[in-house]
Structure 1
Amino acid sequence: MSPAGAAISAAVVCALLLGSSGAPSSAEITVMGMVYCDICSNNSFSTHSYFLPGVQVKMECTFKVIAPRTAEQIWFSVNRTTNNHGIYKLQLSSVDGVQCARDKQLANFCKATLISSPSSCNSPGFRTTTDQIAVKSRRANACIYSLDPLNYRPPRRDDAVCGTIPQS
């Protein structure tokens, strides 16, 4: 290849990688969260808590779509199962018209709700969450929505492990 051809090829590759024509038209979106067993029933992750595999979680999300002359939205509802580390997630690749990384304010919405737990730790604590942290990359038009943790509790609190609750 001639030096001029190599320079043109390099310029084309750089333009594609760097997104010189603005943000990509399709978004890469990941929505994720975790579920744990709140052994001491205090709505916090303690040294006795552990992540719950096999939990069924319902995820519902709405994403604002940028379309000429219309106000469109993408809405979906899916069920996911937590992995061995108590994490559930959904990855959407190539979502046309969604510019999740461009908006300063979060115009998109996700919610996760507990469905069931195969564990003996199966009494719902935090059942639903809509609170999230969004990590965005404008260059790649990629967004990760990390939802606040959900938890289950055991049927009975073990005072030998957690200590007694002070009486008011």
Structure 2
Amino acid sequence: MAAGIPSPMQAAGIVQEGDPVLLTAARPFVLPAEAEEASRVVEELKAAADRVAALHDFAKGMGIAAPQIGIGRAAALVQPPEGEPLTLLNPVVVEESAEMDEQFEGCLSFFGVRGLVPRPLMLRVAYETADGQRCVSAFERGLARLVAHEVDHLAGKLYRARMRPGVEPISVAEYRGTGAAWEYDG
């Protein structure tokens, strides 16, 4: 982008790389006491996700974490390629498979590149509902990857920190997987 001209994601309200909020651990909600605040943040995430979805077709699904819209709270929204979005409040990975794979990921906060990121094929994540109910869900393959990416955001970690040493992101022009789902054996 030319100097002074915001990228499409920035224009959609997505905080861009270099903003300290992206490298700061998000503050958990105290639920149900902060249910109203949590619901407000989730509504802001939904609105941002709608703006972003209008700009790009996310065949692999898409996620957005509160720090990416400038809110340092532990909330994320994950939109699978099909089905209803998942709302994660105060998510914590409680188990992950030893079996991993490497796939390219993108990030709304530096959308012009894709990085080859190793991730577990299965995650079990504990999270809360706005009324304070604790839930634990298992996610596999592509959905596990989406959820792990957003949980990382809430910990102040960008996917580049997960890439193997010496592996660098590639430009979107070099990347050949836009518009295609991640591939898994079996």
| Greater share of residues in helix | 2
- For normalisation by structure 2, the TM-score amounts to 0.21
Structure with greater strand percent: 1
- Normalised to the residue count of structure 1, the TM-score between the two structures is 0.22
Higher relative contact order (CA 8 A, sep 6+): 1
Larger Rg: 1
